[in-house]
Amino acid sequence: MNNVLITGVSGGIGKAVAEKLLEAGSSVIGLDRTINDETRALADRYPGKLMIHEADLMDSDGLFGLLKELVSEHGPIGGFVHCAGFDKMMPLHLTKADDIESLWRLHALTPMLMIGALSKKKMHEEGMSIVLISSQSAHEGAMGHTAYAAAKGAIEGYLAPAAAELMEKGIRINEVCFGPVKTPMAAGWMDKLTEEGMQKLLESYPLGIGEVEDARNLICFLLSSEARWINGQIITADGGHSVRKV
């Protein structure tokens, strides 16, 4: 697959997806607000195959221009994975409008606008596949994560009508709904748990907390032609949490 566009390429899942695709011979365009040294080193290992760009994905007005520049420089996009994201734990009574807007903008508005732009003629390759990332927090009582969960719920509601429209252009779109995966973002809230809280968390995931390899394998499968018969689906990978014995 050529020119797989990955946002959040310096994050745990984004970098892992990029690495697996590169190992398989794909070319990758990676975006992040700040490209870290590990991702630069990965680009050095794959010269001409991993093209990295620093970009502010919160700048909604600049997204279409950014994508036009990328297509002009690298060619049409063959796959898109939106890995960029952040979470901010806060109780309801301390939730501020700016926090809600920032979370919704990056997790929902940004991918919606990017997909709309990529759906235009000459912006995508025939058979492009899109994978968006949702979260288990949108489906259960994840206290402190209300704004984040609401943003993920928005992108889940977007999926079915978007899939119907994109399918007419030969584009597939699916979502993965993950339980906690061991990434720096997850560490931001997991590290705040008490010893008892962490123990309860671990006990609620019979197959363990997810590794980045677990996440990237599913994402790369959905991107590939092996998943050509799958469209408009939300696929859950949560370590057995949702079917655990209670």
User: pLDDT tens digits for 209-229?
Assistant: 889 999 999 999 999 999 999
Distance between start and end Cα atoms, the chain: 43
Structure token digits, residue 30: 């990676």
Does residue 181 have a pLDDT over 70? Answer: yes
Strand 124-135 relative to strand 172-178: parallel, antiparallel, unpaired? parallel
Does the pTM surpass 0.85? The reply is yes
CA 132 distance to own-chain centroid = 5
